[in-house]
Amino acid sequence: MDYGQGGPGPYIGGPPPTAAMRIEYETLNGYKNLVDDLLERLDGSAAADKKLADGTLPAGVLGEGFPAAAQLQTAYTTVHEQLVNLSRGLAGQIEGLGIAIRTAGKGFAGIDEETRRRMAAISAKAHEDYVPERDPLYKAPTAVGKDYPGGGN
């Protein structure tokens, strides 16, 4: 039986770790491609932010003092920015997972310094962009200690 690079290990009945990472990598790549396609179609449409800003929808067309028009532009800008951020975040996660797959089985000591720095940068960016309030699986820490907010040990 071929277990791939991950070897049989303790994963009886499931894919070896490297194979599982490859599946996740392919899934993330597919999702990112969908997001990028959506951005491309949005940017090429009449609803593109530049086209709206360039007067495709001239001020006053919907009426003077019409707050919904300004709200629509604000909502569009927010959605577009979030899609761009999502695409960038997915690109980082995909790159990190790709590195993890390529270096699986080598151990941290077997990874060159440049790869370590890149993984650290990807991790730092992911932590920087993480918003717990948007994570449906986030649970606030309940203990206090050196690894928890409010702890100083």
Residue 79, domain member (yes or no): yes
Q: How far apart are CA 53 and CA 11, in angstroms?
A: 54
Q: What is the pLDDT along the chain (153 residues), one digit of tens a residue?
A: 444 444 444 555 666 667 777 778 788 888 888 888 887 887 777 656 565 555 444 545 555 677 887 788 778 778 878 888 888 888 888 888 888 888 877 777 788 999 999 999 999 999 999 999 989 998 888 766 655 555 444
Residue 95, domain member (yes or no): yes
- 20-58 burial, b at 16+ Cβ within 10 Å, e below that, comes to ebbeebeebeeebeebbeeeeeeeeeeebeeebeeeebe
**N-terminal to C-terminal alpha carbon distance within the chain:** 49
| 129, two tokens | 């962009």
DSSP one-letter code for 134: G
pTM for the full predicted model: 0.57
Q: How far apart are CA 58 and CA 93, in angstroms?
A: 39
Residue 146, domain member (yes or no): no
Which pLDDT does position 128 carry in this prediction?
Answer: 94
Residue 99, domain member (yes or no): yes
Determine the structural domain holding residue 112 and report its residue range: 16-54+67-133
Residue 96, domain member (yes or no): yes
Residue 7, domain member (yes or no): no
Residue 144, domain member (yes or no): no
Residue 11, domain member (yes or no): no
Spatial neighbors of 82 by CB under 8 A, at least 6 apart, are none
How many domains does one find in the chain?
A: 1
